[in-house]
Amino acid sequence: MLIATNAIVLKRIPYSDTSLICRIFTEDWGKVTILAKGVLRPKNVTGALLEPVNHIHIQYYNKSNRDIQILKNANFVQQYPKIRNDLSRIILGLAIVEIIDKATLDCNPYPVLYRLGWRVLDKLNDETQNFWLVFAFFLYQLSIRMGFMPNLKNCSKCLSEMSQGGIDNYTGELVCAKCVTQSQILLEENSFTLLQKITGLHLDDLQTLTIEKNSIFNPIRFLDIFTSFHIEGLKRVRSMEMVRNLINEENNKST
Ligand SMILES: [Zn+2]
């Protein structure tokens, strides 16, 4: 059966001298692995389309008893030059697609997550956007879509209202400053306020939020720990190491 669908490219592995095996996250069929024959030959333009982060339209021959499907052709839905030309943006873009890859199962459609993915990548490609805010928005929305919503108001132990706190190591939930024993992160009042603002905003309204430089890093660290704790597969996202290094560098620059 010939299938036509839009897709986000998650990963590519060279296969033989001229071909690629790609993992793509399709709108209609979820995560699919495809073989793209001969696309690395000189003059072939499809190879450049099959780069992680790209948003493409694709046609492939599908056989349900086969693990790898065969590419027919591909075109761009959206090119992301601003992501590709900025080291920070490409690191975040690669983290986003690797997170989607690790958080999802093969051949299981996740239309809401697919939409979140390309819409966030579109924003990451927009130079007027604060890319850290976009990334924090992605982590929070991903967590909700996968069924885990952090309670940012009340301590998960004593239920009192929180203005600062940390993560309980056993439940992975937020606890207030009194209930916290050992936490990988301590969230101060500003981080709580910023997190609450991000959770209340639509992606298109993210731009209306003005933040102090570096105030976004603790919320991102929290979302990183929270999603890694709750969503299966996210403990092994290699590109998140690069994101963490980037955050540390940015922090050191300003102190
Ligand atoms: Zn408490």
188 alpha carbon to ligand 1 midpoint, in Å?
A: 15
What is the bridge-based pairing of β-strands 30-36 and 68-78?
A: parallel
pLDDT at 234: 93
Query: What is the fold of 81-254?
Result: de novo design (two linked rop proteins) (1.20.1440)
The tokens for 109 are 């459609």
174 alpha carbon to ligand 1 midpoint, in Å?
A: 9
Judge whether residue 184 has pLDDT over 90: no
148 alpha carbon to ligand 1 midpoint, in Å?
A: 20
Judge whether residue 181 has pLDDT over 90: no
222 alpha carbon to ligand 1 midpoint, in Å?
A: 17
Contact 23, 106 (CB under 8 A): no
Tens digit of each residue's pLDDT (9 = 90 or more) over 83-121: 999 999 999 999 999 999 999 999 899 999 999 999 999
Spell out the domain ranges in the chain.
2-78, 81-254
197 alpha carbon to ligand 1 midpoint, in Å?
A: 22
Judge whether residue 214 has pLDDT over 90: no
Query: What is the fold of 2-78?
Result: OB fold (Dihydrolipoamide Acetyltransferase, E2P) (2.40.50)
Q: Across residues 179-207, what is the average pLDDT?
A: 90
Judge whether residue 252 has pLDDT over 90: no
Which of 92, 94, 82, 86 minimizes the C-alpha distance to 51? 94
Lowest mean pLDDT among 5-9, 115-119, 181-185: 181-185
Judge whether residue 183 has pLDDT over 90: no
pLDDT at 119: 98
167 alpha carbon to ligand 1 midpoint, in Å?
A: 11
CA distance 10 to 91: 13
pLDDT at 197: 92
What average pLDDT does the structure give for the chain?
94
249 alpha carbon to ligand 1 midpoint, in Å?
A: 33
The tokens for 171 are 């439940």
What is the bridge-based pairing of β-strands 30-36 and 19-26?
A: antiparallel
| Residue 255 pLDDT level (bands cut at 50, 70, 90) | low
Tens digit of each residue's pLDDT (9 = 90 or more) over 27-72: 999 999 999 999 999 999 999 999 999 999 999 999 999 999 999 9
pLDDT at 114: 97
